[in-house]
Amino acid sequence: VSVPPGPSCIFCRIVAGTADASFVYEDDDLVAFMDINPVTRGHLLVVPRAHLPGLADVPPQVGGRMFVVGRELAAALRAGPMTTQGINLFLADGAAAMQSVFHAHLHVIPRFRGDGFRFVRDHWSGSPDRTELEADAAAVRAALGGAEA
């Protein structure tokens, strides 16, 4: 699923100006534009100019800026004409997480009561007890190692 930077990546084409998009924000590191197939009206994407395929490829400073810009856009959607009642920030990292464009991006999705957008879960992995939660927490802490921000 890995796509090189350049013409084979739709978001690289948008950043380069060789594919159309309706922009709402641009700075040195990021652009934001309307999603072409919005989940709800006003659905935006915050996209690094650099071709960074996955979350792990996004440098902390750029990732932090993605969140800052996403937050500003959320406020604009709430203040704007679309009567936004709520916002979901969503980032899909990996095909299993529903990433379809392998150039990292943060979704800013305006929400309206009854808009029909839902996360559906077919089965539930159970109700872990505290022992299981502690074991999983220990495993994550070990994997985190010295990587804390």
**Tokens at 97, concatenated:** 């997480």
Q: Which of 5, 29, 35, 49 binds ligand 5GP (CB under 6 A)?
A: 35
Question: With CB under 6 A as the contact rule, which of the stretches 65-73, 97-105, 117-125, 132-140 interacts with ligand 5GP?
Answer: 97-105
Stretch that binds ligand 5GP, among 59-67, 71-79, 91-99, 141-149 (CB under 6 A): 91-99
Please give the residue ranges that form the binding site for Zn ion (CB under 5 A): 9, 11-12, 51, 103
Does 37 sit near ligand 5GP (CB under 6 A)?
A: yes
Task: Establish if 10 lies at the interface with ligand 5GP (CB under 6 A).
Answer: yes
- Side chain identity at residue 87, one-letter code: I
Closest CA to 61 of 48, 71, 72, 73: 48
Do residues 46 and 27 touch, judged by C-beta distance below 8 A? no
98 lies in the site for ligand 5GP, by CB under 6 A: yes
Q: SS3 for 129?
A: coil
Q: Report d(CA 7, CA 98) in Å as an integer.
A: 22
Least spacing, CB of residue 128 vs ligand 5GP, in Å: 28
**Comparing C-alpha atoms, which of 66, 104, 73, 69 is closest to residue 87?**
73
Between 100 and 131, CB nearer to ligand 5GP? 100
Q: Which residues are catalytic?
A: 105
